[in-house]
Amino acid sequence: MLVAQKAIEGETVMQQEDLARDRQALAERREALRTAFEADLAGRSELDAGWVRDAAEGYAAAVEGLVRHEAELERMRRQRVENLRAACEAQERAMTLLTGQDAVIRGMMGWDAWDEMYKLSGKEGR
């Protein structure tokens, strides 16, 4: 298994953990927002038009901010996975090119480039 494939598998696990944690945190923020709004409402003996307008606008803006934050988190998760997939594809292409290059060198020169590289590195042949 290629390194990038292992990274994708690891990232998938991390993504699921992040997703669960993010959903929990967002649910807690929504609940805190609702509780604060209800507490502010319950603490008022009168509801004047200015307060109602300001509270509704503030609450709506806060909820919209949470929705945008959730969308950004999802976009970032998708981008991380896409980056790893691109890296995996690049690694596979590089291995294909190196294997082809090795076959050409072996055919032209009569020796295995990979074995020579291992020898130069002080390691035994593959």
Q: What does the pLDDT read at residue 63?
A: 93
Per-residue model confidence as pLDDT tens digits over 8-49: 788 888 888 988 999 999 999 999 999 999 998 898 888 899
Q: Which domain holds residue 39?
A: 3-86
Q: What is the DSSP letter of 37?
A: H
Token look-up 């082809």 returns 100
Query: Cα dist. 44→57, 64, 67, 99 in Å?
Result: 17, 25, 28, 75
Per-residue model confidence as pLDDT tens digits over 54-73: 999 999 999 999 999 999 99
**Phi, psi (deg, nearest 5) at residue 52:** -60, -45
Structural domains of the chain, count = 1
Q: What does the pLDDT read at residue 109?
A: 73
Q: What does the pLDDT read at residue 120?
A: 77
pLDDT class of 2 with cuts at 50, 70, 90 = low
Residue 118 in domain? no
Residue 22 in domain? yes
Per-residue model confidence as pLDDT tens digits over 81-122: 888 888 888 888 988 898 888 888 777 777 766 677 777 777
Residue 33 in domain? yes
Residue 103 in domain? no
Q: What does the pLDDT read at residue 24?
A: 95
Q: Enter the tokens of residue 114.
A: 């990979």
Residue 11 in domain? yes
Helix or strand (DSSP H, E) at 22: helix 3-42
